[in-house]
Amino acid sequence: MTARDRLILSLDLGTTAIKVGLFTAAGDLLRLAAREQRLLFPGPGRVEQSLAATWQLAGEAARELLTGLEPADVQAVVLTNQRGSVVPLDVTGRPLTDLIVWMDRRGLSQVQRLETAIGRQAYYQTSGHPIVPITGVTKILWLQHLAPEVWADAAVVGPPQTIFLRWLGCAEAVADYSSGSYLFPCDIRARQFSRPLAEALHFPLDRLPRLVPATEIVGHLSAPAAQHLGLPSGLPLGAGGGDGQCAAAGTGVVAPGSVMVNVGTAAGVQVFLPQPAFDPAQTLNCAAHVVPGAWELEAHTQASGTVFRWFRDELGGAEQLVARHSHHDAYDLLIAQAADAPPGSDGLLFLPTFNGATAPVVDPYARGAFIGLQLAHRRGHLIRALLEGIALEIRWMLDALAAAGAQVQEVRLAGGGSRNPLWNQIQADIYDRPVRTVSHPDAALVGAAMCAAVALGWYPDFTRAAEAFVGLGPVLHPRPATRSVYDQAYARYVRLFRLLSEQQAFTPHAPLEETHEH
């Protein structure tokens, strides 16, 4: 069997979509299938997903992918998952709730507990994370203190990786270091859950999964899971890792010098670290990488691609109708209209912070806004301002990474936001840095496959794997003619966001979630 005959099945359990890819050992993406995910909103501030529906979609996509191929050519299954999302499991591995998604707000009620028990500085210096509600710990503490009927039956609380590896055939509850460091505060230097922080929170560490490398074979595909996916049973299961770190690997950011910008549901901005490093402002996240013995420093938005999806679903009915009756994509039809507006959108500014902000300013109550609307503005202005606003928020994070000492000479673009040439050029202009796309925009899927390829011994390390799996597009340079316009727009974006945040203009009159213990 040649390198092109041996295949890896990679599962991306994303927030917006389930994606399944077949990769050859030579690093080529042979096939890709996807299914849109649904978000559930069972109450104020609550965001969940049906685990059963996700499992069903993964099976459908995998079986579609394998049609006409020889399933025996698949040598391993691996996954990547959304970080900060959690699910409690009973002693048999049965989920006790739907998946509590990272953007769920009920953890806001536990921020004060963390600040009182540990303190912001001590928490950051130990875990590498600011105290924000998107990481798993606030949701875990909510379960412990405000959902006693669930907590009483919970044997373990883990990320999606934990339950899906169990369903695939892993005999125990595990999470890799990259996902685990977003689940509960780690001693980030030791890459282990912090016992002192757990004791300060009166939290039992035996309720958390065992931490493993992303390149570990953690089990073998069970007969029921094999039938569900259309594969032979007994295949090795690679642990894989968090979507952010896998996406960085999938763009070739496995050494210092470049930065990944991955515009998906949210946007991740990430650099590679050979040693842990911390942000003096204590807003950037330092976490374990999927690359063994490495770390990463990152910032992330809370809503980027999902904001564009909202615009498509609520205001793009005409484009969706055209797309359904043609070979066009609704997003491309919308972006094409942005070309009708000039850089800077004639003064129209968009804040994409629909779901709060965590860097470089932490404001969980931040919301979105169009600012500067005039009667002369047209639909194209709104669309261009939306694209520019997403990029302006990311530029703020790139500048924060640079201020923390990170090297950000070249931007590697991934995710759905890298598929359109006009948006790519807007990003280069606003970031004022050269950008390059990658051959496979679904970079988390690529990075997970790289984890499996290294685990199987097909490549000695991620550097060699990246040479095979990661193809880079041409360099897009920022255009000098737009620099002044976008520098002014950027300064105005930062000024307006700070003003609205500091004046508590975003803050609701009532809390989003109950704050009293039962």
Q: Which of 371, 307, 383, 372 is nearest to 342 (CA)?
A: 383
Q: Which of 350, 341, 339 is nearest to 420 (CA)?
A: 339
Spatial contact of 22 and 74, defined as CB atoms under 8 Å apart? yes
**Burial of 202 from C-beta contacts in 10 A (0-12 / 13-18 / 19+):** exposed
pLDDT at 312 over 60: yes
Helix (H) or strand (E) holding 267, with range, is strand 267-273
Which residues, at least 6 apart from 458, have a Cβ–Cβ distance to it below 8 Å? Answer: 3, 6, 25, 465
* Bridge partners for 175 per DSSP: 211
Structure tokens at 59: 């099976």
pLDDT at 115: 96
pLDDT at 3: 56
3-state DSSP assignment of residue 462: helix
- State mean pLDDT over 418-438: 95
Percentage with pLDDT > 90 across the chain: 91
Cα 436–chain centre separation: 20
SS (H, E, C) 296-321: EEEEECCCCHHHHHHHHHHHCHHHHH
The answer to whether the peptide bond before residue 148 is cis (omega within 30 degrees of 0) is no
Structure tokens at 350: 């968009």
Altogether, the residues listed in the chain come to a count of 518
- Greatest alpha-carbon pair distance for the chain in Å reads 65
- State mean pLDDT over 232-236: 98
**Burial of 266 from C-beta contacts in 10 A (0-12 / 13-18 / 19+):** buried
Spatial contact of 89 and 158, defined as CB atoms under 8 Å apart? yes
Which residues, at least 6 apart from 46, have a Cβ–Cβ distance to it below 8 Å? Answer: 100, 104, 105, 106, 513
pLDDT at 514 over 50: no
The residue assigned the tokens 């009756």 is 325
Distance between CA atoms of 73 and 65, rounded to whole angstroms? Answer: 13
pLDDT at 257 over 90: no
| Predicted confidence (pLDDT) per residue in 122-170, tens digit | 999 999 999 988 899 999 999 999 999 999 999 999 999 999 999 999 9
Distance between CA atoms of 258 and 78, rounded to whole angstroms? Answer: 26
Structure tokens at 271: 């650099």
pLDDT at 417: 84
Percentage with pLDDT > 70 across the chain: 97
- State mean pLDDT over 231-236: 98
pLDDT at 510 over 80: no
Spatial contact of 355 and 328, defined as CB atoms under 8 Å apart? no
| pTM for this entry | 0.90
DSSP states along 215-231:
T-EEEE--HHHHHHHT-
Read off the pLDDT band of 2 (50, 70, 90). Answer: low
Spatial contact of 47 and 41, defined as CB atoms under 8 Å apart? yes
Spatial contact of 13 and 81, defined as CB atoms under 8 Å apart? yes
189: left (phi over 0), alpha (psi -120 to 50) or beta: alpha
The residue assigned the tokens 């890799």 is 176
Q: Which of 189, 165, 157 is nearest to 240 (CA)?
A: 165
Distance between CA atoms of 233 and 72, rounded to whole angstroms? Answer: 10
- State mean pLDDT over 242-259: 95
Which residues, at least 6 apart from 50, have a Cβ–Cβ distance to it below 8 Å? Answer: 38, 40, 98, 99
Q: Are strands 74-81 and 236-242 parallel, antiparallel or unpaired?
A: parallel
Lowest mean pLDDT among 349-353, 396-400, 403-407: 403-407
pLDDT at 416: 85
| Predicted confidence (pLDDT) per residue in 314-323, tens digit | 999 999 999 9
On average, the pLDDT of the chain sits at 94
pLDDT at 4: 59
Spatial contact of 187 and 194, defined as CB atoms under 8 Å apart? yes
Give, as one character, the DSSP assignment of residue 190. Answer: T
pLDDT at 289: 97
pLDDT at 1: 52
In order of 125, 194, 431, the CA distances from 197 in angstroms are 11, 5, 38
**CATH for the stretch 305-438+474-502:** 3.30.420.40
pLDDT at 488 over 80: yes
Spatial contact of 186 and 199, defined as CB atoms under 8 Å apart? no
Give, as one character, the DSSP assignment of residue 372. Answer: S
In order of 72, 73, 97, 168, the CA distances from 66 in angstroms are 10, 10, 31, 17
Spatial contact of 131 and 122, defined as CB atoms under 8 Å apart? no
pLDDT at 508: 72
Give, as one character, the DSSP assignment of residue 343. Answer: T
| Predicted confidence (pLDDT) per residue in 435-468, tens digit | 999 999 999 999 999 999 999 999 999 999 999 9
| Predicted confidence (pLDDT) per residue in 45-83, tens digit | 999 999 999 999 999 999 999 999 999 999 999 999 999
